[in-house]
Amino acid sequence: MYLTASEEEILAGEQGYVLQKAMEILAALGDIYGADRLIPVKSTQIAGVSYKTIGDAGLEWISDLSGVARVPSILNPAGIDRLRWRELGVSEEFAAKQGQIIDAYEKLGIIAECTCTPYNIRDDIAEIGDHLAWSESSAVSYANSVIGARTNREGGPSALAAALIGKTPNYGYHLDENRIPSLAIRVEGELSGSDYGALGYIAGRIAGTRVPVFSLESVPTDDERKALGAAMAASGAVALYYIDGLPPYPAGGECDTSDIDERVVIEQSEIEGVYGLHRCDPDIIALGCPHCSAAELAKLRDLLAGKTVTKEFWICTSRRLRNRHPDIVAGIESSGAKVVCDTCMVVSPVCARYDCMMVNSGKALLYVPQLCGTDAVLGRLEDCVRAAVGGG
């Protein structure tokens, strides 16, 4: 990969050891994937935050780094709600280690907003055509597929390297030729809400690493597109998808079907089947995978009005949105539900204490059993609320 004179200087260590190591990571990635050069990024989003996933080795690595992020850079969810961790049952030791990890990132100029939906807290970090270096797979899918920005799915270290250098290698989803759909998926029947997560659960397995284009009978909201992309990134490795008739489109205009090499149909009965894949009696209901938007919080407030929850009920979102909408949060929490920030039902260590979690997310349906060892059952939003208030 070609490096400019100033990039060569960094690689030679003339701007210090940490930047040298960051440049080594980017140069190695560029060489492996055949990038021609480094390109500037508008923002980065960095995974590898929860102490549950990175442990002491990760804490030590981050603590040894120095430097300052050159572009807005936001963290993925941590293992704790930074203000309410005691109330949620997190141990002192875990909270202390988690605090050290977040502090270490903050020292590098990383914004300590721990969210998988950074696009919901700042409009200026990703716009159509922008190059990014984001890690969280659901955020990568949203950036590529809904915003029309361009990012590969970065690992935590490569996203951090991009933050410190302000650039990323030009390969993969940064290039037009890798953003062309090759799989057409026609979905029969009208979908809404968690149906999109169920669709993603099925479609990701079919698509694998390919770029699918969906033909849908209903028009999804941005939150529904978020749920579809998150589930496909979890059940497969889909980082970019299109919906026929909805922007953003591949470079050159509306979806060109000449590169489609497979066409599949997903019937509504298959989507319905995902709701029945697992059955258990939930002792916790957890929503917000990916983190809830303001619209999703408002809908929950309305559904919970006048009700009292009888089970543990988590609604995960970003701290910025919680702070921005105190009335909505107060309305939700008057039911006894908890609006949980900075963390989620998968990366929190607390979730392993429960036997069965009800979720409305195709991604959580996959990850809760894998990463928490807890059974998971998929429900529609209204079913989740009914279960939380003791209505079965």
Stretch that binds ligand F3S, among 64-72, 192-200, 266-274, 285-293 (CB under 6 A): 285-293
For ligand F3S, the closer of residues 77 and 157 by Cβ is 77
Q: How many CB atoms lie within 10 A of CB 336?
A: 16
Asked, as a colleague might, if the bond just before 248 is cis with ω within 30 of 0, I would say yes
Cβ of residue 116: shortest distance to ligand F3S, in angstroms?
3
Cβ of residue 246: shortest distance to ligand F3S, in angstroms?
22
Q: Work out which of 125, 140, 199, 289 binds ligand F3S, going by CB under 6 A.
A: 289
For ligand F3S, the closer of residues 52 and 291 by Cβ is 291
Q: Which residues pair with 74 in a beta bridge?
A: 45, 111
For ligand F3S, the closer of residues 11 and 347 by Cβ is 347
Q: Give the residue among 39, 28, 122 at the shortest CA–CA distance from 75.
A: 122
Cβ of residue 103: shortest distance to ligand F3S, in angstroms?
20
Asked, as a colleague might, if the bond just before 118 is cis with ω within 30 of 0, I would say no
267 Cα distance to chain centroid: 27
Stretch that binds ligand F3S, among 170-178, 277-285, 299-307, 340-348 (CB under 6 A): 340-348
For residues 227 and 35, what is the distance between their CA atoms, to the nearest angstrom? 31
Cβ of residue 252: shortest distance to ligand F3S, in angstroms?
31
For ligand F3S, the closer of residues 67 and 79 by Cβ is 79
Cβ of residue 344: shortest distance to ligand F3S, in angstroms?
3
Stretch that binds ligand F3S, among 122-130, 286-294, 303-311, 352-360 (CB under 6 A): 286-294
For ligand F3S, the closer of residues 69 and 364 by Cβ is 364
Q: Work out which of 30, 48, 58, 77 binds ligand F3S, going by CB under 6 A.
A: 77
Cβ of residue 218: shortest distance to ligand F3S, in angstroms?
23
What amino acid occupies position 75?
L
For residues 308 and 273, what is the distance between their CA atoms, to the nearest angstrom? 30
Alpha carbon distances (Å) from 8 to 20, 70, 162, 375: 9, 18, 16, 51
Q: Work out which of 75, 104, 346, 377 binds ligand F3S, going by CB under 6 A.
A: 346
In contact, 359 and 340? CB cutoff 8 Å: no
Check residue 180 for interaction with ligand F3S (CB under 6 A).
no
Stretch that binds ligand F3S, among 97-105, 179-187, 264-272, 288-296 (CB under 6 A): 288-296
Q: Which of residues 235-254 bind ligand F3S (CB under 6 A)?
A: none
x-or-dash string of contact with ligand F3S, 135-164, rule CB under 6 A: ---x--------------------------
Stretch that binds ligand F3S, among 59-67, 124-132, 276-284, 341-349 (CB under 6 A): 341-349
Check residue 19 for interaction with ligand F3S (CB under 6 A).
no
Check residue 290 for interaction with ligand F3S (CB under 6 A).
yes
x-or-dash string of contact with ligand F3S, 305-334, rule CB under 6 A: -----------x------------------
For ligand F3S, the closer of residues 121 and 289 by Cβ is 289
Stretch that binds ligand F3S, among 122-130, 237-245, 265-273, 359-367 (CB under 6 A): 359-367
Cβ of residue 360: shortest distance to ligand F3S, in angstroms?
11
Interface residue list for ligand F3S (CB under 6 A): 76-77, 116, 138, 230, 289-291, 316, 344, 346-347, 363-364, 367
